[in-house]
Structure 1
Amino acid sequence: MRIGLYPGTFDPITLGHVDIIQRAMALVDRLVIGVAINRDKGPLFALEERVAMVEAECAAITAVTGGEIVVHPFENLLIDCARDVGAGIIIRGLRAVADFEYEFQMVGMNRALDSSVETVFLMADARRQAIASKLVKEIARLGGDVSRFVTPPVVRALKDRYGK
């Protein structure tokens, strides 16, 4: 069984993430969405809220694809998380050249830690390349319309959080 791990903070999950998840499903038999705890980033949503949002979005995807998606919170090294879930593939989404430079370094370190785990990069769909959770949060915080970047449940969660 091919198991892939798609890690991120998903704070919040965006349509860019959903695009990568949908396309990653064609590459693996089971996709594990690793929701990083990452206290250093100071997430807007608590871990439980982010996991619930990711689970809701993934339920909609699996209803269409019939594939298997598991949501797995983690706080350890990415390569250790991959081992924990039995993943032989780490899936990473790329939006721009700046993403590649960071990801290139991460691949090198992960390969040094465990050369049996491959990293696969998926380019974001052209319509989704500008979407970043950080920017979505900023737009929502300032009262802007984020409905082109996230699903309706996430729009509601952002409005609730910012009291808009």
Structure 2
Amino acid sequence: MEKVDYKKKFKELYLPKTKPAKVCVPKIQYIIIDGKGNPNYEEGEYSKAVGILYALSYRIKMSKMGSRDIDGYFDYVVPPLEGLCVQCMHIGEFDNEPETVSKIDNFIKENGLQNDIGIGRKHHEIYLSDPRKCNRTKMKTVLRIPIKKI
């Protein structure tokens, strides 16, 4: 099975600009955590979940199994986020994310779109930087909000 480098194949999804943009996310499998708590608290549930996420991702990347084979290794696989979304690269600490989310919200309103967060569609954050290993002021996180046309 051929390994896919998603950052290269779907560059617009994983390396967006710091200005919001509308994208159509194709059906792709992800490893997703539903984090809770303050991400700044190193011993908290959220930070532990991120650690597990990075460990699983690394294990899959370094193993011979491809990302398409992950279903059999998990009791529950979350359906992939797909469809229309607005996304933006957030650079900096978690506490400053509301500024980027505000830019996304303004883009949604200015372009006649509607936030579509609800059952089956959630706000997503794609961590490109491991917060346990990098300067938090330089962390890169893709913030993605599902939308629909009005």
TM-score, reference length from structure 1 = 0.27
TM-score between the two structures when normalised by the length of structure 2 = 0.28
The structure carrying a bigger helix percent of its residues is 1
